[in-house]
Amino acid sequence: MTKRHAVKEEPGIDVKLLQSFLAGVDEGVTEDIFRAFFGPTRTAEFLAQGWLTCTVNRNLSGVEDIQYDWGPRAEATVEKKVSQNNKLRINPTDSVSIAEDIEVLL
């Protein structure tokens, strides 16, 4: 019997680390903007589209631990691009068809 989903060995990115990173990139990322794009609600843009997944765990004292990880859409997109790059390394003369494949992905 095979497992349906791979078990992740590393935890995701903590919500505070993600907020800190985004604040360093653009000071205009307010709490409202962060929640609209990253949640942790299912209607948040990146979660709803499958780019990210969010796990919320509450410990016994009620403190939430929010972790983000790559979602299925991001993993599928990256996997296709990595596959195309590997194909190019194996057969460099196939760059025209690979360029066409990459255009379809973007």
pTM: 0.64
pLDDT over threshold 90, residue 50 = yes
In a domain, 49, yes or no: yes
The percent of residues in the chain predicted with pLDDT above 90, rounded, is: 19
Same domain, yes or no, for 66 and 79?
no
Q: Give the pLDDT of residue 45.
A: 93
What average pLDDT does the segment 54-58 reach?
A: 90
Single-letter code of the amino acid located at 1? M
User: Do 22 and 65 have their domain in common?
Assistant: yes
Q: What sign does the CA torsion over 89, 73, 34, 54 have?
A: negative
Q: Are residues 83 and 43 in the same domain?
A: no
- Domain limits for position 31: 13-70
The average confidence (pLDDT) of the chain is: 78
Can you read off the two tokens belonging to residue 74?
A: 């991001």
Please indicate, yes or no, whether residues 98 and 61 belong to a single structural domain of this protein.
Answer: no
Residue 81 inside a domain? The answer is yes
Tally the domains of the chain. Answer: 2
pLDDT (tens digit, 9 = 90+) per residue, 60-106?
A: 888 888 999 989 998 888 877 777 676 666 665 555 555 565 565 55
Tell me, yes or no, whether 46 lies in a domain. Answer: yes
